[in-house]
Amino acid sequence: MPSRKSQKRSDLLEFHRPQLKFESAPIPPLKPESRRCLHNLAQYDAPKHKLRLPRSRSAAVLVALFVGRQGDLYVLLSQRSQHLRTFPGDTSLPGGKWDEGDRNVEDTARREAFEEIGLPIDKQRVPLLCVAEPFLAGGNLVVTPVVVLMLDNTIRPILNEAEVASLFSHPLASFLSEEAPFPVAPDAATAYHTHHDMRDWVPSGPPECAEQNSTQPARPFRMHRFLTGREASGSHSIKPVYGLTAAILIRVATIGYARKPAFELYAPGQWDMWRRIEHAVRWHPVFREARWRERIVYPGEEEDFEEWRKVHGDSMLPREKPRGLFKGLIARSRL
């Protein structure tokens, strides 16, 4: 007989992940592969880590899936406004930084999607499937993907034109493939999927080791790129899915379809994402100061924190919020 504790946790999961009743939902019939994908996502529970992350450097994106007319799964993608200061015109997922009113990453992702593309904050019409592992973004943010399913295909977007220029979709399964889901000329100059290996910007250790680390071979990091099929549309062209957005969608597709990509995901010698997050949050000065402002002090840095506090004073530190308010987080193009 299950314990009261396990029964309580099961009840909470059922509450937050309502049973998906595909037959009664106003969506096209699902292909078997799509049904299995949704089942795998709904059952997924990301590994838990004890590392405390600063809320001020946290963000979330919404991976909003819907069922196409042929029963395949598609993901909503947006083209950032050309008037934005950062990454204008890039292809991205709806999302943004944590806000004081957000109770968790799901709140952050849903609020941002509502503000950007008008997606209703309705957990019955757009139920939660899962929360995936966090990713490190090049803007010194930890970004958590929140995966939902649009059960109502009558929902119509309302774009915030100051942030979003257009909205389009792409087959989720195509982020595991090297074959384009759209017609490509045999002599096309650019392949549907390509990658670029760059030097990882995450510190390997404390600042005093920087000079020693600079003599070591560069640690690589692989960036993936997928064509959208809309690159040659003149003034309405859409940029490829690249960097952070591509990495997140590869991961969501891998969880859902339970298979590896048809290409090599990592560069030789590349750190896994959680190791990159741990090192960045501990050693990068932007993350460290953000932690200290929230009184998040890691073992071994107590003396450095006290020296920092003498300079900045307690007035610089916000009061501690209840733990668990936010546990996890948007540069569009660089991880």
Span 84-113, pLDDT tens digits: 777 677 899 999 999 999 999 999 999 999
How many other C-beta atoms can be found within 10 angstroms of the C-beta atom of residue 85? 5
pLDDT at 82 > cutoff 90: no
So where are the chain's domains? 4-316
CATH number assigned to the domain covering 4-316: 3.90.79.10
> What's the pLDDT score for residue 210?
54
pLDDT digits (tens, 9 = 90+) for 187-229: 666 899 999 999 998 988 876 555 545 556 678 999 999 999 8
The whole-number pLDDT of residue 89 equals 74
| Sign of the C-alpha dihedral computed for residues 96, 98, 99 and 104 taken in this order | positive
Residue 106, classed as helix, strand or coil, is helix
- Selected residue with higher pLDDT from 147 and 3: 147
**How many whole angstroms separate alpha carbon 70 and alpha carbon 67?**
8
pLDDT digits (tens, 9 = 90+) for 118-157: 999 999 999 999 999 999 998 899 999 999 999 987 888 8
Give the N- to C-terminal CA distance of the chain in Å, as an integer.
46
Measured distance CA(65)–CA(68) in Å, rounded: 10
Instruction: Look at residue 316 and tell me whether its pLDDT is greater than 80.
Output: no
pLDDT at 247: 97
pTM: 0.86
Rounded-to-integer distance, Cα 108 and Cα 178, Å: 32
| pLDDT above 70 (res 327) | no
Higher-pLDDT residue of 48 and 85 is 48
Main-chain phi, psi angles of 188, to 5 degrees: -60, 135
Taking 60 as the threshold, does the pLDDT of residue 1 lie above it?
Answer: no
Residue 192: phi and psi, rounded to 5, are: -60, -45
Percent of the chain with pLDDT over 90: 60
List, for residues 285-308, the tens digit of each pLDDT value.
Answer: 999 999 999 999 999 999 999 999
Residue-averaged pLDDT of the chain? 84
The first and second tokens of residue 253, run together, are 């597709």
CA dist., res. 52 & res. 21, Å (int): 36
In whole angstroms, how far apart are CA 232 and each of 82, 181, 228? 17, 16, 10
